[in-house]
Amino acid sequence: MKKHVHCVVRSILFLAVIGSLVVSANSITQAEESIQLTLPKEIYAVEGIETGIFFSNIVRVENLAEFQIDVKNDLGSVQEDRWLFTPTKKDVGEHPLMICVKDFSGKMLGCETTKLIVTAANAGEGKNIRLLIVGDSLTNATMYPNEIARLLSLPGNPTWEMLGTHKTRNAAKGVIHEGYGGWTWRRFNTYYVEDEPGKRREGTSPFVYPTKEGQPELNLPKYFDEHCGGHRPDFITVLLGINDCFHAAYDDQAAIDARINGMFKEADILIAAFRKAAPNAEIGICLTTPANSRSAAFDNNYKGKYTRDGWKKIQHQLVQQQLKHFAAGSDNKLSIIPTELYLDTTNGFPPGNGVHPNKQGYEQIASTIYAWMKWKLASAKKIRKQE
């Protein structure tokens, strides 16, 4: 009888332990969901160029000061709100990096790992490349294309040429792109205004032309032939997403999902057209950038119609879905550029603008794109001109 009682007691204790482990596991899962810690699988850096991760850009929390964030890596320096790193020659190579988030009681809320890839400063030296930059008002500002041009002109780089039709007043020498304020993936795919004699096709997508029947059609071979001298780009970067998803109702998850899914449908169309027209191009999808840390900037721009917290919720979900969607395909020349990581949402923005960075912020975006290009140049046996 005593033996039976002991067995029952042990069974109860065993079940209690298992139950507590299940509760604990569930609690950790719930905590991870609440902070939504999000990192891409790879991040890129170049010898001699600063990079980093701003912690507010990788977690979905209202107040970063309520959490402890640990960076498990021997490289760089950790500050209260960021990890910064300027690689040297000895750092060239691949390095694991883990970020963990705890509350101030020490309770672990979640960990994510990524791979830091550091490329030599002379990667791609002696090669010749052509670059097509596509985007919305962040690209139209031309600050980050200007900075990409400056970085590509440093010693140890390939000879470069930018393709496109849009040259703004503040464009540096050789800088041209396809960046237009307010544009979306869909607008690049579909928008067409019939030519008027003697007038430029204002607002028309540079990639859309009329068919013989007069119907607008996405026609990238014609675009490359007419506006790029028949040349095909070696690199294509696309920074879009704000205008596709910004206006979704923040408190309606179905509406947010519909916006994001609709964006991906249009993105797939344009990417497929790029791939068909330029089969050897490296295509980089830039993750949609975060907003100004100041709620007052949104009040100034949108007068209460749109809020910083609402857009942060959408932007964070959009980045999570971009990481899943663009990694799911079989195109090994399509990759993700983590432009949302190294962007200072306070010092990298003017006080009164919600989504458009200042010069510092644009330069941080450019350095991330540049690091991605250098990685591709280092890993490619040959960059071919696609005549």
Summarize pLDDT for 250-301 with one digit per residue, the tens: 999 999 999 999 999 999 999 999 999 999 999 999 999 999 999 999 999 9
pTM of this prediction? 0.89
**Domain spanning 42-119: which superfamily?**
Immunoglobulins (2.60.40.10)
DSSP H helical ranges for 82-123: none
128-379 CATH, one of 2.170.120.12, 3.55.50.30, 3.40.190.10, 3.40.50.1110: 3.40.50.1110
pLDDT tops 70 at residue 98: yes
* CA distances, 231 to each of 129, 148, 183, 216, 280 (Å): 11, 20, 25, 23, 12
- What is the Cα–Cα distance from 274 to 349, expressed in whole angstroms? 32
Please give the average per-residue pLDDT across 324-351, as a whole number. 96
Domain coordinates in residue numbering, the chain: 42-119, 128-379
Looking at residue 330, its pLDDT comes to 87
| Residues pairing with 334 in the sheet | 283
Contact (Cβ atoms closer than 8 angstroms) between residue 291 and residue 307: no
Please give the average per-residue pLDDT across 238-244, as a whole number. 98
pLDDT tops 90 at residue 199: no
DSSP, res 86: -
Summarize pLDDT for 23-48 with one digit per residue, the tens: 444 444 445 558 999 999 999 999 99
**For the chain, how many residues are written?**
387
* CA distances, 87 to each of 77, 94, 157, 226, 362 (Å): 11, 12, 17, 42, 21
* Higher-scoring residue by pLDDT: 140, 105: 140
Confidence of residue 201 (pLDDT cuts 50, 70, 90): low
Contact (Cβ atoms closer than 8 angstroms) between residue 68 and residue 76: no
Structure-token match 């040259």, residue found? 167
Asked whether this chain's domains 42-119 and 128-379 adopt the same fold, the reply is no
Contact (Cβ atoms closer than 8 angstroms) between residue 312 and residue 297: no
Confidence of residue 63 (pLDDT cuts 50, 70, 90): confident
Phi-psi region of 142 (alpha: psi -120 to 50; beta: other; left: phi over 0): left
* Higher-scoring residue by pLDDT: 31, 72: 72
Within 13 Å, how many C-alpha atoms sit on residue 204's CB side? 20
Burial class (CB in 10 A: 0-12, 13-18, 19+), 8: exposed
